[in-house]
Structure 1
Amino acid sequence: MDQSWIKEYSHPLFIAGPCSAESEEQVLNVTRALKNQGINIIRAGIWKPRTRPNSFEGIGHAALPWLELAKKETGVKFAIEVANPSHVEQALKHNIDILWIGARSTVNPFTVQEIAESLKGITIPVLVKNPVNPDLALWIGAIERLLNQDIQKVGAIHRGFSSFGKQRYRNEPLWQIPVELKRHFPELPLICDPSHIGGRRDQIAPLSQKALDLNYDGLMIEVHPNPDKALSDAAQQVTPEAFAQIRQNLHVRRATSDNELFRSKLEELRERINSIDHDLVDTLAARQKAIEEIGIYKKENDVMVFQLERWNEIMRTRPEWASAQGLDRELIEEIYKLIHADSLKVQTRILNEETNDSAS
C-alpha cells in the first residue's frame, strides 16, 4: 500500500467543496475561495446516488468540464465519487485526480468488483467510504478488492452508518468500526467525513475535532458558496468563511510526547488498567459460570431460556448503578445487551444438549 500521495499534503489533509457541482460559476467560486485558504483538493459530486427518486441526482458528466476549467485556473486537484465503470471512464477522460467509492456502492461486492476491475493498475488515489450499514467485513472486502487489482494508492473515508429512527446524528459514527479497520490496515490513510455523519453544519466542528483526536489523517467537509440554496444536502454544508473558522479552531494534538515524566506516568496508568481489565475478565468468567448453573437449573425444571421480567429488571437497574458511579448509562446498556446475548447463547446450548441427549 502506497501512502506517498497523502504525505504530499500537510497534516491533517483537508478535502473540501460542494456536495454537488451545480453550475460552472458555483464550481469556480468555491474553488477560488478554497484555494485562497490553501486547500488543494476539492470535492464535488457529479453523480449523486439518492435514496429516493425525483430528487437532484447531480448534473452528470456535463459537469466534468467545469472541474477541468477550475483545475486549469487554480491548479487544485479534484476528487469525485464513481459508482460504475462508465463513471470511471468519464472521470479519467477529464483528468480527475482522486476517486472515491460511495457508501451505497461499498455495500455491494459486485459493484465494487466492477469498479475495481475498471481501475486495474491505476496510479491515482482511490478512497473507499464505509458501507451504509455497520459491516466492517464489507469495508475491508472493498479495500481488498482494490488492492487485488494492483491499486496501491488506497484510502478510507468514514462517513457514518445508517440507523433506524431519529438519532443525534444523520449517520451514527460508531467510531469503534473505523478504529478496528485501522487495526487491520495500519498504513491505510483514514479520512473523516463529518458533514455526512452529522447531517447539520453545527455538528461539523465537534466531529472534526473528535476525528483528529483519534489520529485520523484528514477531513472531507462540504463547502458551498450559498449552502441554504444548495440543490443537495443543504443543511450539512458550510460557507467558505465558516469552513475557515472551523479549521482555525481545530486543535491538532501530538501522537505522543518525549517527556519522560509523561511516558512514565502513562505506563503506570496503563499497568493499572491492565490489572483492572484482568479483574473484569475474571468477573465475567465467574458470571458465566453462574449463567451455566442457571441454564442447568432451567433444563432440570423444563423452563424456557428468555425471561422478560428479569431482562427488564437488568436493563432498569444496571444503568441506574452506572449513573450512581458517574458512568454513561448508554454505554452500560450496550455492554449488558452483549452480555445478555451471550447468556442466552450459553443457556440455549445447554438446553439443546439436553434435547440431543434425549434423542440419543
Structure 2
Amino acid sequence: MIIVMKHGAGKEELAEVKKRIRELGYKTHVIHGETRNVLGAIGDERGKSVLQSLESLPGVESVVPILKPYKLASREVKLEPSIIDLGNGVSIGGEKLVVMAGPCAVESEDQILETAYAVKASGATVLRGGAFKPRTSPYSFQGMEEEGLKLLALAREATGLPVITEVVNPRDVELVARYADILQVGARNVQNFALLKMLGRLDKPILLKRGMATTIQEFLMSAEYILAEGNQRVILCERGIRTFETATRNTLDLSAVPVLKEQTHLPVVIDPSHATGHARLVPSMSYAAVAAGCDGLIIEVHPCPEKATSDGPQSLRPEAFASMMEKVRAFAAVAGKTI
C-alpha cells in the first residue's frame, strides 16, 4: 500500500504514520517527493486492508493499493525519476548522461591507470573494471580479486572518477564495498536473492544487470529485493538477452528503455559491449540507446584489446572511444541530456 502524505505534513505526523505502520506488522519505506512525502507499507498482502485505517491519521491524504508486484520499484510509489548520487559529484537519473568506461578486467596498475586517464579525458565520469570475474569456463581468468580492487582505488585517487566493479559472491560484499563506489550485479546473479538481500543492506549504489533470459517483470522483482531491504540506490542495466540470433553475442533489447521508463522510477543504463560482443557495433548501439532515452552507458575500453585477459573483441581502444564520445554528445543533446 502507498500512504500519501498531505502537502506540508510535518515530521511529527510522518513519524506517527511510520510508527503505526510498524505496529500493524509492515515495513515502512519513505520516498521523499518534491511536494509531498509518500510511504510504502510492505508486507503480507493478505492483511493489507487494515492499512486503510491510516487515512484517519493527521497529515495523511490517502491510502492507495499498489497494483504492481514490484512495489518500491514501481512508478505508482514514486512518479518522478530517482536521481542517484554515485560519488565524487556524479549523479545519474537527471539531465546528465553518465558514461561508465574501462576494461572488462583489471590486469595491472599501468593498464588501469592508462585507461582511467583516457576515458576521463574523453568525457566518462565513472571508471569500470572487474576485480572478480564470473566466467563461463572455470579455466578462464577469474580476476585479480582484492589486488584488483586496490588498483581501482588507486585509479580513483589519481583521476577522481568513482569506480564500479562487480561483486560475485555474497561473502565478498563487505570486501568489495570497502573499495568500490558502485557495486555491480552481473547477469548471472540477477536472481541470486541471497546476494541481492545483502546488497540491500548497504548504503551504496547498486547497478543491477538484466539476466540473459529475464523478463522485464522478473528484472524489476530482482530490483525489489534490494529496495525492500532499505537500499533505494538501484540502477537498472540492460545488457542484451539471449535469442536465436548468432550474429551478435546477445540481442540488445532497446525497447526495454521506454518500457522500464514507463514502469519504474529507477535509472536505466545500457551495456552495448556485452550485448553485441563486437567493438565495431558498440558505437551504433550507444547512439541508439541514448536516442531511446537511457540515463547512462557502460562501455568496455582497453588500451590493447588483443592482449586483454577477457572480452578483448568487444573492447574499444581509447582513440575509438574518444571518437564515439563526440557523437554521443550530439545524440545526448537531441535527447535533452548533456555529458
TM-score between both structures, scaled by the size of structure 1: 0.65
Distance 1:89 1:178 in 2: 31
1:41-80, CA deviations, whole angstroms, 9 ceiling, x for partnerless residues?
A: 1000111111222111212222111111112222211001
Aligned to 1:69: 154
Task: Work out which of the residue numbers 94, 114, 129 in structure 1 matches 2:209.
Answer: 129
1:190-231, CA deviations, whole angstroms, 9 ceiling, x for partnerless residues?
A: 111011111101101110111011111111100001111111
Distance 2:256 2:326 in 1: 28
| Letter matched to residue 14 of structure 1 | V
Give the superposition deviation at 1:136.
2.0
Aligned to 1:81: 166
DSSP 3-state at the match of 1:115: helix
Contact 1:44 1:80 survives alignment (8 Å):
yes
Task: Work out which of the residue numbers 289, 313, 324 in structure 2 matches 1:211.
Answer: 289
Distance 1:119 1:167 in 2: 34
Aligned to 1:8: 91
Give the superposition deviation at 1:11.
2.2
Give the superposition deviation at 1:178.
4.1
Q: Larger % of helix: which?
A: 1
DSSP 3-state at the match of 1:62: helix
Task: Work out which of the residue numbers 68, 91, 103 in structure 1 matches 2:187.
Answer: 103
DSSP 3-state at the match of 2:166: strand
Task: Work out which of the residue numbers 299, 321, 324 in structure 2 matches 1:243.
Answer: 321
Q: Does 1:151 align with 2:231?
A: yes
| Letter matched to residue 124 of structure 1 | K
Contact 2:238 2:256 survives alignment (8 Å):
no
DSSP 3-state at the match of 2:281: helix
> How many correspondences in the alignment?
249
Q: Pairwise CA RMSD of aligned residues?
A: 1.9
Unaligned runs of 5+ in 1: 257-360
Aligned to 1:176: 255
Distance 1:224 1:120 in 2: 31
Higher relative contact order (CA 8 A, sep 6+): 2
Distance 1:255 1:65 in 2: 37
Aligned to 1:231: 309
DSSP 3-state at the match of 1:36: helix
Aligned to 2:17: none
Aligned to 2:141: 56
DSSP 3-state at the match of 2:85: helix
Contact 1:84 1:114 survives alignment (8 Å):
no
Give the superposition deviation at 1:34.
1.9
DSSP 3-state at the match of 1:68: helix
Distance 1:50 1:162 in 2: 17
Give the superposition deviation at 1:23.
1.2
Unaligned runs of 5+ in 2: 1-30, 32-81
Aligned to 1:29: 114
When residues 53 and 32 of structure 1 are mapped into structure 2, their CA distance, relative to the original with a 3 A threshold, is same
Give the superposition deviation at 1:255.
4.8
1:251-296, CA deviations, whole angstroms, 9 ceiling, x for partnerless residues?
A: 224458xxxxxxxxxxxxxxxxxxxxxxxxxxxxxxxxxxxxxxxx
Identity of aligned residues (%): 34
Aligned to 2:6: none
Q: Does 1:47 align with 2:132?
A: yes
Contact 1:18 1:44 survives alignment (8 Å):
yes
When residues 199 and 75 of structure 1 are mapped into structure 2, their CA distance, relative to the original with a 3 A threshold, is same
Contact 1:213 1:253 survives alignment (8 Å):
no
Greater Cα offset, 141-150 or 27-36: 27-36
